[in-house]
């Protein structure tokens, strides 16, 4: 290759490498993140996960209340259930998603988001998205006994450390 051709080819190669490096560092835009959220069905996923988490928390709280206050009435427990359902229904998922956009932008480049969109558009990615709520629910159920034991132990330690007071019915 002659010197006259080598220099332009070398400059073109350097420019191409620089352009690729710059492209991989390009921050994801709000539109990039919104597209990712649409592909991942993030809003629906969040609603399902929130519903499951709130149901699991409600059950753990109900169990803890029954252990700590054996005389609690079924009406009181039903009221707790209604309050948890109200929280679940009024949770501002759309606002949470707006809050998440800058976080995703901080951690993901445009190249990252494009790769994730490609993955979640694939059959495997779609399967993962479809099965994730069930996997999350089953994971929470599998961990529930451990979480309950930990919660019971924490409550026991708190009770032991709490000073005796006339307002505590167990004193």
DSSP alpha helix (H) spans, the chain: 3-24, 30-40, 42-68, 74-90, 93-107, 110-121, 123-161
The total domain count for the chain is 1
62-97 pLDDT, tens digit per residue, is 888 888 888 888 888 888 888 877 877 777 888 888
Q: How far apart are CA 159 and CA 161, in angstroms?
A: 5
Residue 12 lies in a domain: no
- In the block, tokens 């969109």 appear at 117
pTM for this prediction:
0.58
Query: Which residues span the domain enclosing 130?
Result: 26-161
Q: Does residue 166 form part of some domain?
A: no
pLDDT in tens, 103-158: 999 999 999 999 999 999 999 999 998 898 788 878 888 888 888 888 888 888 88
Q: pLDDT at position 23, please?
A: 53
């Amino acid at each position: 290759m002659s010197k006259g051709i080598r220099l332009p080819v070398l400059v073109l190669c350097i420019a191409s490498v620089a352009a690729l490096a710059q492209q991989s560092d390009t921050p994801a835009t709000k539109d990039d993140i919104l597209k990712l959220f649409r592909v991942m069905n993030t809003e629906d996923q969040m609603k399902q996960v929130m519903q499951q988490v709130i149901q699991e928390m409600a059950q753990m709280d109900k169990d803890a209340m029954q252990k700590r206050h054996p005389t609690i009435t079924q009406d009181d427990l039903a009221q707790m259930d209604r309050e948890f359902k109200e929280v679940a229904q009024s949770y501002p998922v759309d606002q949470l998603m707006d809050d998440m956009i800058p976080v995703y932008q901080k951690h993901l480049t445009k190249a990252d988001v494009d790769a994730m969109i490609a993955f979640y558009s694939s059959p495997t990615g779609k399967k993962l998205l479809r099965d994730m709520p069930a996997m999350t629910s089953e994971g929470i159920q599998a961990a529930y006994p451990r979480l309950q034991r930990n919660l019971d132990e924490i409550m026991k330690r708190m009770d032991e450390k709490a000073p005796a007071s006339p307002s505590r019915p167990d004193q």
